[in-house]
Amino acid sequence: MSNVLDESTVQAIELVKNVQTIMNTGFFEGFFYGTVFVMLLILRFFIKFKHKTIADLYFFIYIFMLCFLSLVSAGEWRLEAFNSVEYPSLALSFSILTVFSAYMLGVKELLKRYVLPFFNSFFEVAILIVGLVLFIPPLVKINIAYINYYIIIFQNLFVISITLFLWNKKIFIRKEVLLSRLVLIVWSVLILFGDPTNLAVTPYRADVLYKGILLFELVFMLWIGNKFILQLSREHIELTVAKENLEALSYSDGLTSLYNRRFFDETLSTVLTRMNKTHQDGVCLIMLDVDHFKNFNDTYGHPAGDVALIDLANTIKENIRLASDFPCRYGGEEFIIIFSGPLSAALRVSEKIRVMYSQKAQKVNDQEVFITVSLGVALARENEESKELIARVDAALYNAKQSGRNRVCVAN
């Protein structure tokens, strides 16, 4: 029985020695980084990135750093690299890459949009200053035992300050942001209150653990940055849609859905300027006014009057080219059209509108009522001002009213 026990003990000892030999030759680091590589692949191809170019760029940067650190960690070169002055530079470069990734994936947009509130917030700036104070001394000492840990502290303070800023301003915060920092926050606490290298199996495991944390941090940065970019993209789309809706409302008449007076005033001068530069066939104004509209409103009520105006607006849209002509409600029962084309074409369209509208029956209180419309047409002259053209077409409309209504008159 004792012999069997002794053999088992010997086998266990041999197994432990073999494991230690494998770990000391760098196999453990290779396996560890291989696992991280697989995780990166999964994250890369199963997360829906909105900005594929940025995602691919940082993914390949991570892979390059992964392969480089794997080579540094394996074989006899590991001892020379870890004990040389180059390793702090490597760690510093890796740290800068992490912060740069966060900057490119979200912080840049944040600072652009909220730069003044950010720098006026004393609490967040104080945290960044503390991080810098903790970060500078190790650079002077070039001490491998401390520079790695101070870099992690600095990165945590950097990200935590941004998180607190977002939380205070209620701009963007998700529980994943804090959860993804949990491992690094615990690691920073261990650094501040004890020596984390005691957790490692061998002195080399501390370096593996440190680099592994940095790699996972980069993955988390990519994840958080992707969420932040998606949030900014959604916010940008919402603002764009809201802006377009406001612009549409500012240039649209609420009752008829035609363009309003503001749009007409801004567009007419632009159209006339373009006409003078390009020497196009011509630009005409067609002004319309519903005949006896006040009597119709007083007799049948404002709802019936609104329906009559909507019918006239629809009649106008049915007879013009919406791609090149601009129908507008000028005010009350008056409408005006910026018509692109010669005077003869404007007269044909005006007559069609007059005839079609006069044949439409307005159904009010179980009876049919017919309304007519008077129109004035004016062809824009070369280098004519907007006010002069409006005055001429208004005079033509006045002549149509004075001549008996329900007709089209041309300006002199």
Domain boundaries of the chain, sorted by first residue: 2-246, 261-410
Q: What does the pLDDT average to over 390-410?
A: 95
Q: With contact defined as beta carbons under 8 Å apart, do 156 and 102 qualify?
A: no
Q: Is the pLDDT of residue 380 over 90?
A: yes
Greatest C-alpha distance within the chain: 130
The per-residue b/e assignment along 47-85, b for 16 or more CB within 10 angstroms, e otherwise, is: eebeeeebbeebbeebeebbeebbebbbeeebeebbeee
In this predicted structure, the answer to whether residue 124 has a pLDDT above a threshold of 70 is no
- Mean pLDDT over 171-183 rounds to 49
Give the HSE-up count for residue 54: Cα atoms under 13 Å, Cβ half-sphere: 18
> Using only C-alpha atoms, what is the Rg of the chain?
38
The b/e string for 290-309 (b: 16+ C-beta within 10 A; e otherwise) is bbebeebbeebeeebbeebb
Confidence of residue 41 (pLDDT cuts 50, 70, 90): low
3-state class (DSSP) for residue 366? coil
Which percentage of the chain shows pLDDT scores above 70?
Answer: 42
Q: Look at residue 408 in the predicted model and tell me its pLDDT.
A: 96
| pTM of the complete model | 0.46
Confidence label for 145 from pLDDT (cuts 50, 70 and 90):
very low
Confidence at residue 410, expressed as pLDDT on a 0 to 100 scale: 95
Handedness of CA 86, 88, 90, 93 (dihedral sign): negative
* Residue 395, number of CB atoms within 10 A of its CB: 15
Asked whether the predicted pLDDT for residue 236 surpasses 60, the reply is yes
Catalytic entry in 333, 351, 368, 382: 333
In this structure, which CATH number among 3.40.50.1220, 3.30.70.270, 3.40.30.10, 2.60.40.10 belongs to the domain 261-410?
Answer: 3.30.70.270
- Assess contact for 260 and 251: CB atoms under 8 A: yes
333: annotated active-site residue: yes
Q: Within 13 A of 341's CA, how many CA atoms are on the CB side? A: 18
What residue has token string 């329906």? 307
Of 68-77, 157-166, 202-211, 308-317, the one with minimum mean pLDDT is 68-77
